[in-house]
């Protein structure tokens, strides 16, 4: 292994692919010092990246809507081949192709033992929870790269049972690192079940994954809301109904046209803090989606909120929102006895079952989200097109291992 080509945030709107040193079996110095870990990570592996995806969460940083510093490496959606492993790795072998949950988890702390791997206590000195290539997440190097180090590999990695089958289905399997489990988590925590009527706010990749997951869970009707006509068309491609949030007609009226009632059983917020208000000419309104899903969801319903909310947003429209304080109608949610589920998806809770659905042809998530392959060097173009609203999920191919890409 020589060096490592990796995607780096430079300034708002600008990313570049740069040469870095090859990763080592080491945890970040700040994590080791704060958490009392050995710097040498004999529990880790080095992966040669097979596929790595551009995520809407990355786009928040690239837009300058977080406190990410210039030089922040990017990428937390990773699938790769093991090329090196530490002496403490017992159950993963050189040559295995594995999915990497975007959550970095130790497998040893209380939260990990209780299945809450999105809020591991031992991998980030600043707060519970960590991820690769993300601001305030412990300094772990990003995976939009040729190679990446994965710690606590026996716990974190999901090994695919057959190499040839994995490469054949890689565009579906690459979604297991984040958006498929995250979308499924949004639908599952919203209580989607057989016969449910569901509203999904946002037709980006996570919203499309949530809508697709709602269908897998047996929903009777899945309605997706967005203002991007191409993304709404993508939602309709696998059987969803759609509503245009930029239309003058209210969301309640548009939903009533579909269902005959202006309420749904449950709802998913797949937008997060860069939300747009409803109606023609509406601007940014950070709490718009949270308030709309409380308004639309029946009394006693549940709200899944996988959309990202942050504690530091320098580009927010008001001073409160810059620190994550939003004008949410909590009184309405309380009056309707809503249950709200927030936070990182604990990927390990779902990824094996979703893998089996893919391997046995029950799930075709790549088609649903518009998977589109680019070479690593074209990552800047992928970020630009995604930011302009392309109805695609960009999959980077750093080492030319994706068949027929």
pLDDT score of 116: 98
pLDDT score of 405: 65
Q: Which helix (H) or strand (E) holds 300?
A: strand 297-305
Using H for helix, E for strand and C for coil, what is the string for 37-100? CCCECCCCEEEEEEEEECCHHHHHHHCCCCCCCCCCECCCEEEEEEEEECCCCCCCCCCCEEEE
Q: Which helix (H) or strand (E) holds 222?
A: strand 221-226
The pair of three-digit structure tokens given for residue 12, joined into one six-digit string:
């708002």
pLDDT score of 46: 98
Q: Judge contact between 120 and 130, C-beta under 8 A.
A: yes
Domains of the chain, first to last: 4-178+346-397 (3.90.180.10), 179-342 (3.40.50.720)
Q: Give dist(CA 110, CA 31) in Å, integer.
A: 18
pLDDT tens track of the chain, all 405 residues?
679 999 999 999 999 999 999 999 999 999 999 999 999 999 999 999 999 999 999 999 999 999 999 999 999 999 999 999 999 999 999 999 999 999 999 999 999 999 999 999 999 999 999 999 999 999 999 999 999 999 999 999 999 999 999 999 999 999 999 999 999 999 999 999 999 999 999 999 999 999 999 999 999 999 999 999 999 999 999 999 999 999 999 999 999 999 999 999 999 999 999 999 999 889 999 999 999 999 999 999 999 999 999 999 999 999 999 999 999 999 999 999 999 999 999 999 999 999 999 999 999 999 999 999 999 999 999 999 999 999 999 999 999 999 876
Q: Identify the residue whose tokens are 């990749």.
A: 205
pLDDT score of 281: 86
φ, ψ for residue 393 (rounded to 5)?
-115, 110
């Amino acid at each position: 292994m020589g060096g490592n080509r990796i995607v780096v945030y430079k300034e708002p709107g600008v990313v570049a692919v740069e040469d870095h040193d090859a990763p080592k079996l080491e945890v970040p110095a700040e994590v080791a010092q704060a958490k009392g870990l050995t710097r040498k990570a004999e529990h880790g592996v080095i992966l040669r990246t097979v596929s790595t995806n551009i995520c809407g969460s990355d786009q928040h940083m690239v837009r300058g809507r977080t406190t990410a510093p210039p030089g922040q490496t990017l990428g937390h959606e990773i699938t790769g081949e093991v090329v090196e492993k530490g002496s403490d790795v017992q159950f993963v072998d050189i040559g295995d192709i594995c999915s990497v949950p975007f959550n970095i988890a130790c497998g040893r702390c209380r939260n990990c033992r209780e299945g809450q791997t999105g809020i591991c206590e031992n991998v980030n000195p600043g707060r519970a929870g960590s991820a690769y290539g993300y601001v305030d997440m412990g300094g772990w190097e990003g995976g939009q790269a040729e190679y990446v180090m994965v710690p606590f590999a026996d716990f974190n990695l999901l090994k695919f049972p057959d190499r040839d089958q994995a490469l054949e289905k890689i565009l579906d399997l690459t979604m297991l690192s984040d958006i498929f489990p995250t979308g499924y988590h949004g639908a599952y925590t919203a209580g989607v079940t057989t016969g449910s009527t569901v509203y999904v706010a946002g037709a980006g990749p996570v919203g499309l994954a949530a809508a697709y997951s709602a269908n897998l869970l047996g929903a009777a009707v899945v309605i997706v809301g967005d203002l991007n006509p191409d993304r709404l068309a993508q939602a309709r491609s696998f059987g969803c109904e759609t509503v245009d949030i930029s239309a003058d007609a209210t969301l309640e009226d548009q939903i009533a046209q579909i269902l005959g009632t202006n309420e749904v059983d449950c709802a998913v917020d797949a937008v997060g803090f860069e939300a747009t208000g409803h109606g023609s000419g509406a601007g940014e309104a950070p709490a718009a989606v949270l308030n709309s899903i409380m308004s639309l969801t029946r009394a006693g319903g549940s709200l899944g909120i996988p959309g990202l909310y942050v504690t530091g947003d320098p580009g927010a429209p008001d001073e409160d929102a810059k620190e994550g304080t939003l004008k949410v109608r909590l009184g309405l949610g309380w009056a309707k006895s809503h249950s709200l589920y927030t936070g990182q998806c604990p990927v390990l809770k779902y990824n094996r079952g979703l893998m089996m659905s893919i391997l046995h042809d029950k799930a075709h998530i790549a088609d649903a989200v518009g998977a589109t392959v680019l070479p690593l060097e074209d990552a800047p173009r992928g970020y630009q097109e995604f930011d302009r609203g392309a109805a695609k999920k960009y999959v980077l191919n750093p080492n030319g291992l994706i068949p027929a890409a």
